[in-house]
Copies of this chain bind each other. A is one copy, B any other.
């Protein structure tokens, strides 16, 4: 499985999480070999956090896990696409349903276009403690 996957010079591949029902793009994050293998084995989305430089089991803190229903690879082997069931209906760390909430308007300005379902302070109550 891993042999066909093309990781970049940092050993990472971008992975898209798409909602299996609504088909909305929830988020894009990165996986290393270990994260991809664990995702395949556990059927839960596991990424590699570039900022923390460690394995990131999505939802471990927030409870917003992603149950993986299907995994695809693109023609070049360098992008992963997952169909997922999003626990809690919130994929973004900002408390929105998905991460792509900045929409370009007619004046070429980015506009926040998605409501915050749950404030980040309630998703991560222990963050600054």
Contacts and interface: CB of A to CB of B under 8 A. Distances in A.
Interface string A79-112: 1010000000000111010011111100011100
Give this chain's copy count: 2
A1 to B, nearest CB: 4
A16 B1 contact: no
Contacts of A92: 75
Nearest to A107: B1
A63 to B, nearest CB: 18
Contacts of A70: 103-104
Nearest to A81: B100
A28 interface: yes
A14 interface: yes
